[in-house]
Amino acid sequence: MSAVRVLVVDDDPIQQRILTSLLARWGYEVETAGDGEAALQRLEASPAQLAIVDWMMPRMDGLELCRRIRAELNEPYVYVLLLTARTQRDDVIQGLEAGADDYLTKPVHHGELAVRVKTGRRIIDLQRQLLATQEQLRLQATHDALTGLLNRGALFDALGREHARARREGRALSLIMIDLDHFKQINDRWGHPTGDEVLRQAAQRISTACRGYDLVGRYGGEEFLVVAPGQDGRSAEGLAERLRGLFVDRPIEIDEASLPVTISLGAVTLAPAVEVEQHDLLKAADDALYQAKREGRNRTVVGQL
């Protein structure tokens, strides 16, 4: 379990030292701030998972700090333990309504502090697990399970965003459609597990050759699609030829088998200020790909809009 970073916010240097010493002894990473404004700056620069906040402080008190944390720092969640000498029920309600998760009355009992902080840590750990699960579900929903690339649905969504941006900003947008040549023969001769490994390795070669902001996805079967924002026609053709070169005379190695694989590519570019719908852009790239296959495969054809 990774260490939890705790921010102690208190303008009393003696109380601050006591809390810091206790928390460090219990295995927490501790930072300090003398008032709410300094604490907010710390949290914005390097978020702590848990904050122990004194109510009464100069410039920005604990209640206002709680409100600002909830309004301005959404992720990651900061668990706030409010320290107060106020013991009236209305005061406690006011603190919780401001955004505190828990409260502790002064003078602070060390055993109670330890238990309250452990409670906060459990909440933090549960949140980490929830965020990890959400990220895993997001990846499953948007990425192809076999290759790890964007799946067809996510690829279309991303293309829609880039197409709209290209129109709005007057930028070029290129598409490169890719197909593994004679892939059925690989499945027929070597079996589908080998075919799957060919797809995985091909996807890796393609994605590593593209720019970090290019979008690469599995279009379907043995077809892949590269969406290249800002690439003009010449650049797109150059990228397509670089991709093709990654397979020429470079067999895919699987166990003891060396499988020669080539690819055919269809490239098309939407020039700035040209009005073409998304489906027509995809069709032009697809038509160029099939022309490459008809002309003998292992080649790039640049399509026209």
HSE-CB for 31 with a 13 A CA cutoff: 20
* 215-263 tens-digit pLDDT: 999 999 999 999 999 999 999 999 999 999 999 989 999 987 899 999 9
The encoded tokens of residue 38 equal: 């300094």
222 is catalytic: yes
The encoded tokens of residue 110 equal: 């060390």
Domains and CATH numbers, the chain: 5-140 (3.40.50.2300), 152-302 (3.30.70.270)
Identify the DSSP state of 146.
T
Residues forming beta bridges with residue 31, ordered by sequence position: 7
Q: Which of 26, 12, 59, 19 is nearest to 40 (CA)?
A: 59
**pTM of structure:** 0.65
CB 204 within 8 A of CB 247: no
* 267-301 tens-digit pLDDT: 999 998 788 899 999 999 999 999 999 999 999 99
pLDDT band at 2 (very low <50, low <70, confident <90, very high): low
Active-site residue identified among 222, 241, 275, 295: 222
